Amino acid sequence: MSNLRSIRGMNDIFPEEVRYWQRLESTVSDLLANYGYGEVRFPIVEHTELFRRSIGEVTDIVEKEMYSFDDRNGDNLTLRPEGTAGCVRAAIQKGILNTPQRLWYAGPMFRHERPQKGRQRQFHQVGVEAFGVATPDMDAELIVLTARLWHQLGIADAVELQINSIGNAQTRKRHCTALVEYLERHVDELDEDSRRRLQSNPLRILDSKNPVTQALLDNAPALPDFLDDESAADFSKLCELLGRAGVSFVLNPRLVRGLDYYNKTVFEWVTNKLGAQGTVCAGGRYDGLVEQLGGKSTPGVGFAMGMERLVLLVAELGLSATTFARADVYVVSVGDRAQGLALETVEGLRDILPGYRIVQHVGGGSFKSQMKKADKSGAKVALIWGDDEVDSATVTIKPLRRDVDTGQIGQQNLPLAELEAALVDALTE
């Protein structure tokens, strides 16, 4: 048995939970369609090179979290750790970036991290990418769209929008230099992790959860002070548009993102209901990525939402999943003759009433045990066939969900010809 377990961090999802997923997925796809986005599907596996070049060589994802392997040709492939790279690659390859594109996709991503609540090794994202528009109205649309989604899901009160602009490459370079210079004067006050990052990725020190480090950062060179004119103008335009759309936000000058390809606008929707894994949706602008991956210079903005985290949130305090009964009708039959008649009649019913969920009892058993199954199925009515019904060419129809008050059985025996009408009547109250 020990060998036959699922891979660590890769979970099975059963019907009861899948209800929430389906609810979430359909809400998302309807919303995106309403905003004019088209769904794209591309492979889960790509050349490792694609991720190295887009995400960044020195990021944790590339350095230690990718599921990479050699295929039989000797090519080194990787299970996608995120979706943007593959989406960009696909868009370039298809040659559709000569005009603006609004795209989205959904599916599993893979990162070899330590599993935790809201963090799996196979997890699922919905990603949304907009290509070919450099102006901040595009950024605004994406954010506004997510805000609407939270309302539709009933979790708007549980999430907060944080935004920032990290400017262009020069901005970050100049800020980074100043930051490093400042921090090096205070190395002794830095925590161990931050000291390490001073060499590898100084910007990420801004993210530190260490209170001492955060206090130190209060007097550090702040990124917004280094912003180039265009980034600053675009950012204030974005803030203005968000205001017009009624989307409130928090400016977080220390918000940086982990992937190398971001520039200008970055944003995160966070919640405090999920413990340490509070980011539910995050993204930003990546104007250089398309060119970096071999396409013509094309601006882009996008974001990804973590489905597992959203499911947790929605299940806890959002819309309840549609109440789920496995059946409308449960078919009970005892005896070979009855079984045959039941199957024949029910298949006829499925032709006439295709929308009904009709569960046929299988596996035999007494009337009593079949009735128990009928009850547990959640069905509103049971159709019953036994020798009596066969002999008289009838069916017994029994309501299962009448209020408990009247002890009356309320079942009736009908000619087969009247079944359809009686069933429709019983199921439409």
199-228 residues near RNA, rule: CB under 7 A = 204, 207-210
Q: Toward RNA, which CB reaches closer, 199 or 366?
A: 366
Q: Strands, DSSP E only, in 362-424?
A: 381-385, 394-399, 412-415
Of these, 165, 306, 339, 359, which contacts RNA (CB under 7 A)?
306
Indicate whether 314 belongs to the interface with RNA (CB under 7 A): no
Identity (one letter) of the amino acid at 292? Q
Segment near RNA (CB under 7 A); pick from 55-63, 97-105, 157-165, 347-355: 55-63
Ranges within 84-113 binding RNA (CB under 7 A)? 111, 113
Specify the residue for token string 């070919």.
Answer: 132
Segment near RNA (CB under 7 A); pick from 67-75, 87-95, 114-122, 318-326: 114-122
Of residues 90, 163, 165, the one with CA closest to residue 127: 90
Indicate whether 13 belongs to the interface with RNA (CB under 7 A): no
Q: How far apart are CA 321 and CA 323, in angstroms?
A: 6
Q: How far apart are CA 162 and CA 259, in angstroms?
A: 17
Q: Toward RNA, which CB reaches closer, 214 or 237?
A: 214
Q: What angle is formed at CA 61 by the lines to CA 56 and CA 62, rounded to 5 degrees?
A: 55
Of these, 275, 294, 340, 348, which contacts RNA (CB under 7 A)?
275
Of these, 214, 239, 396, 420, which contacts RNA (CB under 7 A)?
396
Of these, 97, 223, 305, 419, which contacts RNA (CB under 7 A)?
305
Segment near RNA (CB under 7 A); pick from 28-36, 41-49, 118-126, 152-160: 118-126
106-140 in b/e form (b: 16+ CB < 10 A) is bbebbbebeeeebbbbbbbbbbbbbbbbeebebbb
Which three-class secondary structure state does DSSP give residue 408? coil
Q: How many residues bind RNA (CB under 7 A)?
A: 73
Contact 153, 310 (CB under 8 A): yes
Q: How far apart are CA 400 and CA 116, in angstroms?
A: 43
Indicate whether 268 belongs to the interface with RNA (CB under 7 A): yes
Q: How far apart are CA 216 and CA 214, in angstroms?
A: 5
CB-neighbour burial class of residue 66 (10 A; exposed 0-12, middle 13-18, buried 19+): buried
To RNA, the closest distance from the beta carbon of 338 in angstroms equals: 8
How many beta carbons lie within 10 A of that of residue 85, not counting itself? 22
Of these, 59, 78, 263, 345, which contacts RNA (CB under 7 A)?
59
Of these, 82, 129, 139, 141, which contacts RNA (CB under 7 A)?
82
Identity (one letter) of the amino acid at 264? K
Q: Toward RNA, which CB reaches closer, 299 or 302?
A: 302
Ranges within 356-385 binding RNA (CB under 7 A)? 365-369, 371-376, 382, 384
To RNA, the closest distance from the beta carbon of 100 in angstroms equals: 23
Of these, 174, 273, 337, 402, which contacts RNA (CB under 7 A)?
402
Of these, 174, 317, 386, 416, which contacts RNA (CB under 7 A)?
386
How many beta carbons lie within 10 A of that of residue 12, not counting itself? 6
Q: Toward RNA, which CB reaches closer, 102 or 398?
A: 398
Ranges within 126-185 binding RNA (CB under 7 A)? none
Of these, 389, 419, 423, 426, which contacts RNA (CB under 7 A)?
389
